[in-house]
């Protein structure tokens, strides 16, 4: 009898989108964060990329530092708050690095990034609060035409949000 070849992984046509490290953050995504930020804060985008998120903060009157040549794992810039949309292939590493730096931070991550062993350990050790939008954020993805199929939330540390889970409306 002929044996059927079983693929090692089930192909997921959307997987490459979620793993895409180059997805840039539109302005409306930062609006729910703004009430929790102080205007005098210096914000470090530690995964700067094309600078899209940085532009959005600048438009809203914030000083933003960082550039695309800096490696987050080698730098510790003088700032009050770290904010980025990290490369999703390095979620755990970015979270661990940010927790160890110890400054307030907000990372825009797939909402399901609440799970998994390593992250669970970090959240138990340091704590985490979420801002959860009522719809998916439509990133700008240079290599793809498609909108992301996954939902993202702001994963916040030391931001003193009113609740651990903060459900918000956003207006694209």
Residues contacting ligand SAM: total by CB under 6 A? 20
Among residues 85, 152, 153, 166, the one that binds ligand SAM under rule CB under 6 A: 85
Q: Is 23 in the site for ligand SAM (CB under 6 A)?
A: yes
CB of 87 to ligand SAM, least distance (A): 4
Query: Comparing C-alpha atoms, which of 18, 83, 78 is closest to residue 48?
Result: 83
Q: Is 153 in the site for ligand SAM (CB under 6 A)?
A: no
CB of 50 to ligand SAM, least distance (A): 6
Sheet holding 152-157, edge to edge: 63-65, 42-44, 81-84, 105-110, 152-157, 129-133, 165-168
Query: Which CB, 25 or 153, lies closer to ligand SAM?
Result: 25
Q: Is the C-alpha dihedral spanning 33, 34, 37, 42 positive or negative? A: positive
Neighbours of 45 (CB within 10 A): 27
Among residues 52, 104, 128, 166, the one that binds ligand SAM under rule CB under 6 A: 52
Q: What is the DSSP letter of 147?
A: P
Neighbours of 86 (CB within 10 A): 24
Q: Is 25 in the site for ligand SAM (CB under 6 A)?
A: yes
Q: Summarize as ranges the residues that interact with ligand SAM (CB under 6 A).
A: 21-25, 45-49, 52-53, 70-73, 84-85, 87, 90
């Amino acid at each position: 009898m002929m044996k059927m070849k079983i693929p090692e992984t089930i192909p997921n046509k959307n997987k490459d989108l979620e793993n895409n490290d180059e997805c840039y953050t539109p302005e409306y995504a930062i609006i729910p964060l703004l009430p929790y930020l102080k205007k005098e804060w210096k914000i470090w985008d530690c995964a700067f990329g094309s600078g899209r998120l940085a532009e959005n903060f600048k438009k809203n009157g914030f000083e933003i530092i960082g550039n695309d040549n800096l490696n987050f794992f080698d730098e510790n810039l003088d700032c009050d708050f770290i904010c980025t949309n990290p490369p999703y292939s390095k979620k755990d590493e970015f979270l661990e690095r940010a927790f160890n730096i110890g400054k307030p931070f907000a990372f825009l991550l797939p909402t399901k990034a609440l799970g998994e062993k390593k992250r669970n350990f970090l959240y138990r050790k340091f704590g985490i609060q979420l801002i959860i939008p009522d719809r998916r954020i439509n990133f700008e993805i240079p290599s793809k035409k498609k909108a992301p199929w996954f939902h993202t939330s702001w994963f916040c540390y030391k931001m003193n949000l009113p609740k651990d889970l903060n459900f918000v409306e956003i207006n694209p």
